[in-house]
Structure 1
Amino acid sequence: MTPVRSLARAMLSGIFVVSGARNFANPGRLAPTAKPVTDRVTPLLERVHPQLPTDTETLIRANSAVQFGAGLMLATGRFTRPAALVLAGTLIPVTLAGHPFWRNDDPIAKNNNQIHFLKNLGLFGGLLLAAADTEGKPGLRWRAGHRIGHSRRSVRRAVRTARREARIAVRSASAARRLPG
């Protein structure tokens, strides 16, 4: 991994590690803000698995733990692409719950939330770039196409070889029949 990638990933993940740890330790301060979003997610969670906890503070803690863990993975260069995708996924409810600028009547609060909303949108874009980054190595699509092409060439070679060997065997058999004997 290049030093620029390492530094960029550490910088990008910093907010997730710090806020993940902070919000895990104190989810109560975010509960009133997060409640409208968790109330909308609760029916989905209950349909997926009725035993899943759906209270707001537990969901905040779960999201925070995921952000902390995925942030550490991104920062340390472990499973960076999946970690970036997971972080992008956790950023969506956080942004919708925490910065709904469209609901603010106060111009100062609206401006502040709009700035934070756009900041999170920028983080989301950076995470998508990190998720797409193959570090200069071929991606899965190229590898699969290359492997398929290689397999096709191998099959063609095997068929040509089998035909050639069959022709040689036919010639040998017909020559053997012509020999007096």
Structure 2
Amino acid sequence: MKPVRSLARVMLSGIFVVSGARNFQNPQRLVPAARPVTDRVAPLIQRAAPQLPTDPETLIRANAAVQLAAGLMLATGKFTRPAALVLAGTLVPTTAAGHPFWDNDDPTTRNNNQVHFLKNLGLFGGLLLAAADTEGKPGLRWRAGHRIGHSRRSVGRAVRTARREARIAVRSAAAARRLPG
């Protein structure tokens, strides 16, 4: 199954690598569409980290750089689960800014944006699957639960063995007292 996973990750990451590189080089073309989202996010960024820039062009470049880096990580199989989660996170503002079909009056534009919105929603689902994929190996949660269950069973066996040995010791002591001697 490894080749299928590898191929699927490369295919899934392709759009992020290409658009991330393109948007990093030329963010100006996206500023008008991104401004409604960046204007809402800017005050939150200012409150959380006042030293960070909040202009739309810089935020577009930052999002593009993250998409490029995380896309390459996903494609190469390095830190695939965190990379998929990061890409899913970058897809939310990208989709909200780039494809607001609910704001379009023109039926053709509305339909086009709705198709792209749904495409991004499908990408989001694929990224969530990639983030949850443990490649057939048990995840950390399962391993921790399994280890806890194993420890409980070991402690239970130790308690039963100690009780059995205590009963045997009590019987041996009682038998020794009954012996004349």
TM-score normalised by the chain length of structure 1: 0.89
Query: Match for residue 24 of structure 2?
Result: 24
In structure 1, give the amino acid aligned to 2:62: A
- Partners of 1:102 and 1:63 lie apart in 2 by 23
- What do you get for the CA RMSD once the two structures are aligned? 1.9
Query: Match for residue 15 of structure 1?
Result: 15
Encode CA deviations 1:67-89: one digit per residue, 9 max, x unaligned.
11111111111111111111111
Question: Shift of residue 94 of structure 1?
Answer: 0.2
Query: Match for residue 93 of structure 2?
Result: 93
Question: Shift of residue 175 of structure 1?
Answer: 5.8
SS in 1 for 2:165: helix
Encode CA deviations 1:40-82: one digit per residue, 9 max, x unaligned.
0111112222222211111111111111111111111111111
Q: Which moved more, 1:100-109 or 1:58-67?
A: 100-109
Residue 158 of structure 1 pairs with residue 172 of structure 2: no
Question: Shift of residue 162 of structure 1?
Answer: 2.3
Q: Write out aligned runs for 1:75-86 (5 A).
A: 75-86=75-86
Encode CA deviations 1:134-159: one digit per residue, 9 max, x unaligned.
22222333323222211110110121
Question: Shift of residue 174 of structure 1?
Answer: 5.2
Question: Shift of residue 100 of structure 1?
Answer: 0.9
Residue 132 of structure 1 pairs with residue 118 of structure 2: no
Q: Write out aligned runs for 1:104-115 (5 A).
A: 104-115=104-115
TM-score normalised by the chain length of structure 2: 0.89
Question: Shift of residue 180 of structure 1?
Answer: 7.2
Count of matched residue positions in the alignment of Structure 1 and Structure 2: 181
Q: Which moved more, 1:170-179 or 1:120-129?
A: 170-179
- Partners of 2:148 and 2:71 lie apart in 1 by 35
Gapped runs of 5+ residues in structure 1? Answer: none
In structure 1, give the amino acid aligned to 2:80: T
Gapped runs of 5+ residues in structure 2? Answer: none
Query: Match for residue 64 of structure 2?
Result: 64
Identical pairs, percent: 85
